[in-house]
Structure 1
Amino acid sequence: MILGQDGQKLSKRHGSISIEKYIEEGFVREAILNYLALLGWSYNEKTTIFTNSELIKKFELSSINKKPAKFDYNKLLWINGYYIRNMENSRLKQLLEKQIRNYLASENIIDLENRIEPLDQKIEKIIPLIKERIKTLKEGIDLISPFFIKISYSDELATYFKNKEIDATDILNRVYKTLGEVSSKFHAKDIEKNLRLISERLNLNFRKIAEVVRIAVWNSTISPPLFETIEILGKELTLKRINEYMRIIL
């Protein structure tokens, strides 16, 4: 028998109990199998991760604990994150591409903002930026979707710099002009160099520059690595978002 963290029999009131539901939520099959094998069974006190072949070799009915096992969602999440971090990029790309296509279809999103590159090519570039940050494929979609889907600034972000001792409009004007003059290759190193020059000219801590730019291009104070994010967004979309954010904060 499997129990919830409250000690009661696991049921729908504890959340998802269907394996297919967990897969929809971004858990990978190997992680689910690995975790389920550990419910009421252990090989030793140190080993948590088992490949399918290792489970076949090491799993023994005689080692099963007869006591009910508690379902630990956080442990499943940790195991899933481990599998994602150690997954081949080619397979992770396939899984994420499937997830994002399902997401776009479920949300009826047809008009993507960034069509410069095919979806699979762009995801291939994004994976190194997010792989260490995510524990589920769904978290991956949350980090991938702003690369494609039109962002909409919240009222909080629209007034984020209103009472701060920083001229966000001036910074963005400088960034817009500077990035507009960067070569068509638009590499992360060139982007970093130019943004740091703005920081030096304004005698302003670079973190403040980065915060302004990050909100403008990503609609959040948190993003994947900024310079690489801007490179993948591309010059046209980056400048478009900077311009849109400047309009709402004027």
Structure 2
Amino acid sequence: MVRLRFAPSPTGYLHIGGLRTALYNYLYAKQQGGKFVLRIEDTDRTRYVEGAIENLIHELKWAGLSIDEGVCLDNEKISEVGEKGPYIQSERVKKDIYNKYATELIEKGYAYYCFCSKERLDEIKNQQKADGKIPRYDGLCKGISLEDAKKRIENGESYVIRLKLPENRDIVFNDLIKGKITINTNDMDDQVLIKADGFPTYHFAVVVDDHLMNITHIVRGDEWISSTPKHLFLYEAFGWEKPTFVHLPTVLNKSGKKLSKRNDDASVEDFRLKGYLPKALINYLALVGWSPESNEEILSLDEMTAQFSFDRVSKSGGVFDVDKLDWVNAQYIRKMEVSELAKLVKPYLLEAGFIDENICPYRLELITKTFQESISRLPQIVEQSRFLFENVEVESEAVEMRNVAHIDILKETMIQELNKIDKIDEEVAKGFMKKIQKASGFKGKDLYMPIRALLTGQVHGPELSNILEILGKEEILNRLS
């Protein structure tokens, strides 16, 4: 069975590039009738961020990417589902899963104990940099016999376990996106596999875990290409079946640089809080580097799954265009049922103080429907509707409309018609302007633009009948006066 995993490190909140990696893993797994696994790689304890695992799970669930196996939340507590756990690497360390494999490599001659101090390693790297060379371990401890190494360990010396790479050997692999890739071992480092604190490094744990969890496809960012030969050598050393590798192009900002947490709104939480819909964000994110055969731009998760192929993923980085995301999000907003959209915009209207918690559902939906076509993000409804609830600056064009020669006739006609009714409901609102037209003798722009200017301070905007109904009789009379 095809099995793919998303294996983030809890060093911060979920990045938008990480969500795309998770999405591509999910799409391929589902298309192939396989499993989508969530594993947490937290062996680097110095960079661990409290709450990051919970955030990762929350944001994946919000985005609609449900896992088949791995880490989940049960009543807001971190839990696991599946038979190949633990799915958190620090928990796997406690079960001593990795050391036996490291020992096996040493016994086979594919790894060795290294006793070099941090000071010596820093000195080597600094000298190599000064000489214009690529910093890498010089292999000093590679020649220590296994017998001598074990004696030094018994005497209490601190050590790490390093991978013993062969010299001048090409390691070749075929990437489903990048094609054939060749890297020579002379350009690689004898990677640390087990650190001095007993924790495995990413490069070791990822191979052991992927093998034990029967992962068939490794789909990750292309920054890991240079590390892949080390991983392949480990598969070979153990005699394990190698997975298929897929390295995704980088997500870039408009400047063509990698989308970063420091310089861009790059966390999934940033986009959620800005009022983007999960389906719209997922839809757009899929297109940052991948193009469906149908060339459609608006696709459901099921439609993306049906069409997804690594053959149509670009080799070069995809630009994350917020303007295009806004357009996609607007399409989803316009297609939503008004009742569902009303629930989503209500918190923003409440925070602005425009409505109260007990607002009539019909009135809330009327406000929502009025601005549904004009917003691309949920919070925008506040600025769009502000003129209904507060005094706003009158547009210069509206000032002119408020001073047309026949403005007093329009005002007086409206007041007379309003005094004939108890309230403005939907039926009254739809026929109200026809009555003003008939009674005043004005029509078209001479009618609608001055009245809109009087009531809203604008000359263009949403359906006037909706505005009349939302404002109501008393507020309209107040504004006319």
How far apart, in 1, do the equivalents of 2:431 and 2:297 lie? 43
Alignment-derived partner of residue 32 in structure 2: none
Aligned residue among 443, 446, 452 for 1:214: 452
Give the letter aligned to residue 215 of structure 1: A
What amino acid does structure 2 have at the position aligned with 1:230?
L
Assess if the C-alpha contact under 8 Å between 2:424 and 2:473 holds in 1: no
Match of 1:78 in 2: 327
Listed one character per residue, the Cα deviations across residues 78-123 of structure 1 (whole Å, up to 9, x for unaligned) are 2111111111222111111123223x2xxxx4xx5x78x8254312
CA change 1:161–1:78 in 2 (3 A) is: closer
2:296 to 29, 43, 47: 47
Greater RCO, CA 8 A, separation 6+: 1
CA shift, 1:57, in A, is 4.1
Under a length normalisation based on structure 1, what TM-score does the superposition of the two structures give? 0.77
CA shift for structure 1 position 44: 1.4
Paired letter, 1:144: S
Q: What is the TM-score with the length of structure 2 in the denominator? A: 0.43
Query: Deviation digits for residues 206-242 of structure 1, max 9, x if unmatched?
Result: 3122222212222222221112210222111111112
| Structure 1 position 178 matched with structure 2 position 437 | no
Distance 1:144 1:13 in 2: 33
More displaced 10-residue stretch of structure 1: 182-191 or 67-76: 182-191
Alignment of 1:10-21 (within 5 A): 10-11=259-260, 16-21=265-270
Greater Cα shift, 54-63 or 65-74: 54-63
2:370 aligned residue: 129
Deviation of the 1:165 alpha carbon: 4.6
The whole-number CA distance in structure 2 between the counterparts of 1:79 and 1:158 is 32
Contact 2:409 2:440 in 1 (8 A): no
Structure 2 vs 1, CA of residues 197 and 13 (structure 1 numbering), >3 Å: closer, same or farther? farther
Query: Residue 342 of structure 2 contacts residue 365 of structure 2 at CA under 8 Å; is this kept in 1?
Result: yes
Larger radius of gyration: 2
Q: How does 1:47-196 map to 2 (within 5 A)?
A: 47-102=296-351, 104=352, 109=353, 112=354, 118=359, 120-147=361-388, 149-154=389-394, 156=396, 159-161=399-401, 165-186=404-425, 187-196=428-437
Identity of aligned residues (%): 26
Query: Larger strand proportion, structure 1 or 2?
Result: 2
Query: Does 2:476 align with 1:238?
Result: yes
Structure 1 contact 179–191 (Cα < 8 Å) conserved? no
1:139 shift after superposition: 3.0
Q: Conserved in 1, the CA contact under 8 Å of 2:413 and 2:440?
A: no
Say if 1:197 and 1:183 are closer, same or farther in 2 by CA, change over 3 A: farther
Alpha carbons of structure 1 residues 134 and 152: separation in structure 2 relative to 1, 3 Å: closer
**Contact 1:214/1:222 (CA < 8 Å) preserved in 2?**
yes
Superposition CA RMSD, Å: 2.9
Seen in structure 2, the aligned counterparts of structure 1 residues 191 and 166 have a Cα distance that, compared at 3 Å, is same
Indicate how the Cα distance of structure 1 residues 161 and 53 shifts in structure 2: closer, same or farther if over 3 A, else same. closer
**Residues 38 and 155 of structure 1: CA distance in aligned 2, closer, same or farther (over 3 Å):** closer
Measured after TM superposition, the shift of residue 30 of structure 1 is 0.8
Aligned mates of 1:196, 1:226 — CA distance in 2 = 14
Distance 1:7 1:189, change over 3 A: same
**CA shift in 2, pair 1:131/1:62, >3 Å:** same
The AA in structure 2 aligned to 1:98 is P
CA apart distance, 1:26: 2.4
Structure 2 unaligned blocks of 5 or more = 1-249
Distance 1:180 1:196 in 2: 17
Match of 1:248 in 2: none
